[in-house]
Amino acid sequence: MPPPGGFESVKYKRNLPFRGPSGIVALGAVTAVCAYGFYRVGKGNLEKRELQREKVWSRIHLVPLLLAEGDRDAYRRQQAALAREKEIMKDVKGWEAGKSVYNNGRYRSADSIVVL
Amino acid sequence: MTIYHAGDDSQARPYIDPTPLPDSIPKVQEIGTSSAPLKSAAFFIGAYCKDYNEDFMLCKQDAKGDPGACLKEGRKVTRCATDLINKMRENCLETFDKHWQCLELHNQEYYACRKDERALNKCMFEKLGLTKTIPGSPKGQTPIHDVAKPIYTTVQR
């Protein structure tokens, strides 16, 4: 005979507690984060290129100034070396001071310098 | 290597160049500015002294390395740059000093000193009418020195 009030209902439902977001959600989130990250990297690469361009042009703008200063010093050294050579070789007949050892008119910087 | 010493007390006296430039070459005061102020002023030098700079570089191209060939153009370049630095100091001394001191502290990277740079650019445009333009930057985009929120910044803003 059934107990008073009837039998207890049969527990047939599975007991599966919620265990966090599903795999699809996690995968989607990771994909979204990565996509945003790569977007920023791409933007950053473009920006880096522009920063490099800025740096290079700042140097290009300074080249004539620095080169002019260096040229004056190089010319001064060249003239001093010439005067020195003239003084040393004044007794040697037929010596041409400052003459290139090559038979072409091309400019050649000094092989050695005297630090003064 | 021999080092020239004119007597024992040469350190006490001011240095006298034993081999100065010949007198036929007009004298010009060298600019004497160190690297950070030069870097701060670079784009303005490029804008202000464009003609002299291009003249000098074309002359150098023709000279094929001879340092004596372009002395006249070189003097013009140096005088122009000195002139610009003086004008900058007269008109925008405060912002100029701030910017180059910032560059000095930040490894001479422009991106670390945008705040001071913008103040300087503004002052230079208002007082001298010079703008910073970077040749070859993509058309239709904000130039890199005017980007409001750049990706590359210093750790501390």
Closest CA to B21 of B79, B67, B90, B82: B67
Q: Say which residues have a Cβ less than 8 Å from residue B49's Cβ, sequence separation at least 6.
A: A64, A65, B77, B80, B81, B84
Interchain proximity A109–B136, CB inside 8 Å: no
Q: What is the predicted pLDDT for the residue at B1?
A: 43
Residue A69's contacts (CB-CB under 8 Å, 6 or more residues apart) are B30, B31, B74, B78
Q: For chain B, how many residues are written?
A: 157
- Residues on chain B touching A63 (C-beta within 8 angstroms): 57
Is residue B97 helix, strand or coil? helix
Nearest to A44 among B77, B144, B152 (CB): B152
Give the pLDDT band of residue A105 (cuts 50, 70, 90): confident
- The token duo for A105 is 């008119």
Q: What is the pLDDT of residue B56?
A: 97
Better pLDDT: A12 or B82: B82
pLDDT per residue over B38-80, tens digit each? 999 999 999 999 999 999 999 999 998 899 999 999 999 999 9
Nearest CA in chain B to A62: B42
Residue B34: CA count within 13 A, CB half-sphere = 7
pLDDT at position A51 is 96
Q: What is the ipTM of this complex?
A: 0.86
The pLDDT, as a whole number, for residue B5 is 55
Q: Are B19 and A76 a contacting pair at CB < 8 A?
A: yes
Q: What is the mean pLDDT of residues B77-105?
A: 96
**Is the Cβ pair B53, A61 closer than 8 Å?**
yes
Of A50, A75, A116, nearest to B67 by CB-CB distance is A75
Best mutation target among A43, A48, A71 (most B Cβ atoms within 10 Å) is A71
**DSSP secondary structure code for residue A111 in this structure:** S
Contact B67 A51 (CB under 8 A): no
User: Alpha carbon of B67 to those of A69, A112, B33: distances in Å?
Assistant: 10, 16, 22
Chain-chain contact of A116 with B57 (C-beta, under 8 angstroms): no
Distance from CA of B45 to the nearest CA of A (A): 7
CB contact under 8 A, B74 and A68: yes
Domain boundaries, chain B: 34-132+150-157
Q: Taking CB atoms and an 8 Å cutoff, what residues of chain A touch B120?
A: none
Q: Where are the alpha helices (DSSP H) in chain B?
A: 35-48, 50-63, 71-105, 114-128
Query: Which residues in A lie closer than 8 A to residue B42 (C-beta atoms)?
Result: 57-59, 61-62
* Each residue's pLDDT tens digit, A37-71: 999 999 999 999 999 999 999 999 999 999 999 99
Can you tell me the distance from the alpha carbon of B144 to that of A18, in angstroms, rounded to the nearest whole number? 50
Measured between beta carbons, the chain B residues lying within 8 angstroms of A72 are 21, 25, 28, 30, 67, 71, 74
- Chain pair A-B, CB pairs under 8 angstroms: 123
What is the model's pLDDT at position B19? 85
